[in-house]
Amino acid sequence: MFGRLKQMLIKEFIQVFRDKRTRFILIGPPIIQMMVFGYAANYEIRHVPTVVLDLDHSQESRELVSRFTSSLYFDVQRQLTDSRQLGDLIERGDATVGLEIDAGFAQKLRSGQTAPLQVIVDATNSNTALIASGYISQIAQGFAAQYQRDRINRIAPQLIEVMPQVELAPRPWYNPDLSSRWFFVPGIIGSLTLVLVITLTAFAVVREREIGTLEQMMVTPIRPAEFILGKTLPFFLIGIFDVTLIAVVGSLWFQVPFRGHVSVLALGAVLFILCMLGVGLLISTISATQQQAMVTSFFFIMPAITFSGFGFPISTMPHWMQLFSYVIPLRYFLIVIRGTYLKGVGMDILWPQMAAMAGLGVALLTVSILRFHKALD
């Protein structure tokens, strides 16, 4: 048994390391994805291009605009003179936010009326528009509160004493700077292992079927179990290697803190990779050619990442889709990854996720091995 398995493993490793393309796949994509998600994928908004049309030219209006100018979130690029210019700049995409202050703004404030600030936001990217609107209303409210206090102070200083105020004291736990990078980089461990292990496994088995070596192997005394083990063990080790690589680069290069126990993350990675080997094998049993395997993998990978909570929060999905996410192993692994990285929690909290992955892994591997046996006939 071990003799034949050993031969299979020797062969697999020679094949993986002899092929330049495969060698690259082990190192290249993890690094590239790290760079993409570490630097480019970002939910934060900074320096939103902003234009201002101030038709009031009052001290008050200048005061309001200066609050935007000094904010990190907005980049006030131009002062306009005509409302047509504003529409034009938004349409061209040169500005995302347009602020319009009509004549009489200061007049209304001084007489104690409500003064409008018209805000035009390019909402083609709904996410940016939403966040920007939040910041704008924060700035406008800050301005209004300050203005009120100043006036009361001048007219009836004694009233200041009885004016109630609420002060916000936000304490974002685990990620005090609200950095998207801390959210994304650990997640790559999950998404990348998923893509890599599924495709490598599916392709390796389908290729043997396609070129006929699978048949040649099956007339030797090798048992299907030895063949499957010989095929999957190398990819299991490669998966572990890539998890380690991403974890190390993430910690050293991007300075994402790791607060939990390495052993908890390692256990999660092992269970998750077993699930992915099961999926890869399953795809190989339903694909006759490498092309079919590619299409099938794609159909699995896209929803698996979408429903996992990698980028979009699961809690905002419709209820029936949330149910679907329970069979996605990545969902659980991401909780384990983010739990160990940022929260520093251990098995006492993460055991349900571990149990779910173990269950899914056993189920996937059993089905795919049974199907593999059947596919041989």
Partner 1 sequence: MPEITNSVEPISVEVANLVKRFGDFVAVDQINLEVRKGEVFGFIGPNGAGKSTTIRMLCGLLKPTSGRAMVAGFDVSKNPEAVRQNIGYMSQKFSLYNDLTVIENLRLFAGLYSVPQNILQSRIEWALTMANLKGQENLITGTLPGGWKQRLALGCAVLHKPPVIFLDEPTSGVDPITRRQFWDLIHQMAEEGVTVFVTTHYMEEAEYCNRLALIFRGKIVALGTPTELKRDSMKGELLLVECAPLGAAVEALQSAPGVMDAAVFGNALHLVVEDAATAMPLLQKFLVDRKIAVSRMEKIRPSLEDVFVSLTTGRDTEERKP
Residue 250 CA from chain centroid, whole number: 14
State which residue, 214 or 256, has the beta carbon closest to partner 1: 214
**Cα–Cα–Cα angle for 359, 271, 343, rounded to 5 degrees:** 105
Output the smallest distance, CB 185 to partner 1, in A: 35
State which residue, 217 or 362, has the beta carbon closest to partner 1: 217
State which residue, 3 or 318, has the beta carbon closest to partner 1: 3
Rounded Cα distance, 315 and 309, in Å: 9
Output the smallest distance, CB 206 to partner 1, in A: 15
Give the closest residue to 79 by CA, choosing from 104, 63, 55: 55
Output the smallest distance, CB 226 to partner 1, in A: 9
Q: Which residue bears the tokens 């080997």? A: 277
State which residue, 130 or 288, has the beta carbon closest to partner 1: 288
State which residue, 217 or 349, has the beta carbon closest to partner 1: 217
Rounded Cα distance, 146 and 31, in Å: 49
Output the smallest distance, CB 241 to partner 1, in A: 21
State which residue, 11 or 371, has the beta carbon closest to partner 1: 11
State which residue, 81 or 216, has the beta carbon closest to partner 1: 216
State which residue, 94 or 215, has the beta carbon closest to partner 1: 215
Output the smallest distance, CB 217 to partner 1, in A: 7
Output the smallest distance, CB 368 to partner 1, in A: 20
- Please answer whether residues 209 and 71 qualify as being in contact, where contact means their C-beta atoms are separated by less than 8 angstroms: no
- Please answer whether residues 287 and 202 qualify as being in contact, where contact means their C-beta atoms are separated by less than 8 angstroms: yes
Output the smallest distance, CB 14 to partner 1, in A: 6
- Please answer whether residues 189 and 243 qualify as being in contact, where contact means their C-beta atoms are separated by less than 8 angstroms: yes
Output the smallest distance, CB 295 to partner 1, in A: 24
Q: Which residue bears the tokens 């049974």? A: 370
Contacts of 2 (CB under 8 A, 6+ apart): none
DSSP assigned state of 27: H
Q: Which residue bears the tokens 């005061």? A: 63
Contacts of 122 (CB under 8 A, 6+ apart): 90, 93, 95, 96, 97, 129
Rounded Cα distance, 318 and 315, in Å: 8
Binding-site ranges for partner 1 (CB under 8 A): 3-4, 6-8, 10-11, 14-15, 18-19, 211-213, 215-223, 376-377
| Tokens describing residue 324 | 């679907």
Torsions phi, psi of 253, nearest 5? -85, -50
- Please answer whether residues 273 and 195 qualify as being in contact, where contact means their C-beta atoms are separated by less than 8 angstroms: no
DSSP assigned state of 118: E
